[in-house]
Amino acid sequence: MAHCSSEITNTVGPEDAKEELLDECHSIWKQMEECQSKLMLLGTDTLLPSDAKLSLLMLQWKSLTVEYRQWQAKNPEIISTNPDVLLELGKQELLKVKDDLEMVLSAVRSKNKSLEEDLKREEQWYEEQKQMLDTLNKIEEEANTQAQKHSAKRDSNELKNKVLKLKTFKKELLSALGVFLDEHFPHPEKAENTKNKNSSVQKPAVEVITLKEILENLINKLITTPHEPYLTINESFWPPYIELLLRYGIALRHPQDPKRMRLQAFHK
């Protein structure tokens, strides 16, 4: 390898460093050409016998193998020893690396900008989906509330209709019961007067009530005071009607007081 001039300039520009490197490369190339010429002259010698030529080739192969391994283990030599040249070359390499890094930085910034835009779009889409979900939840909640109101209103209306029907049925049933009782179980005094038209009958001291009134009193007592449904039998109760109610199980006597009775709890 050729050595550089001993004279070192104070300032070396890019062109000067390039000129110096080119001169060194030309010098090295000339040395290689000389070596190549010597090898060519050696190749013009008289050919050896085949065995000797083979042995020579094997020796050359071993030598090249050893040289190859040496080159593999050898560190690269510095072409130039001029520090100014090396400094200028280092600056050029650093500038090249700087340009490469700036290109990478620009690409990264562009990629980051693209990712930020994608992130903003995703966030906007997420907010839109969230608002849509909230709106749907509100609509569903309102629909459920309205459905519950309609259902409660419908149930209330159905209950009112049922109560009205029951009241109507109760009124019709009481009316039919009253007609039946008036027809088949008239007032005791009227019945006695019909049987004894021509005979003089003394009127009782207390006015006797009808079977219909007895039943009404028993029903009212059972409804108003279910814990104490017994009614006291007084002189206004006609004994045949009391016997009729007890015999057919419509009314029951008190187990300890025979002067009290109650209506059979048919509703239980």
**Tens digits of per-residue pLDDT, 153-188?**
888 888 889 999 988 988 888 888 888 888 888 877
Q: Letter for the amino acid at 145?
A: T
Whether 231 shows a pLDDT value over 60: the answer reads yes
In the numeric block, which tokens belong to residue 172? 């019709």
- What's the pLDDT band for 13 if we cut at 50, 70, 90? low
Question: What sign has the CA pseudo-torsion 191, 195, 197, 202?
Answer: negative
pLDDT number for residue 3: 41
Q: Are 87 and 11 in contact (CB under 8 A)?
A: no
**Tens digits of per-residue pLDDT, 130-160?**
999 999 999 999 888 888 888 888 888 888 8
**Chain mean position to CA 219:** 60
- What's the pLDDT band for 59 if we cut at 50, 70, 90? confident
H/E stretch holding 262? strand 260-263
Report how far residue 199's alpha carbon sits from residue 182's, in angstroms, rounded to the nearest whole number: 24
β-pair partners for 234: none
pLDDT number for residue 38: 72
pLDDT number for residue 66: 81
Residues 6+ apart with CB under 8 A from 83: 8
> Does pTM top 0.75 for this prediction?
no
Residues 85-121: b if buried by 16+ CB within 10 A, e if exposed: beebbeeeeeeeeeeeeeeeeeeeeeeeeeeeeeeee
More confident residue, 13 or 209: 209
DSSP string, 28-70: HHHHHHHHHHHHHHHHTSPPPPHHHHHHHHHHHHHHHHHHHHH
Tell me the domain boundaries of the chain.
120-184, 186-196+204-263
Q: Exposed, middle or buried, 229 (CB in 10 Å: 0-12/13-18/19+)?
A: buried
Average pLDDT over residues 186-210: 63
Residues in the chain, overall count: 268
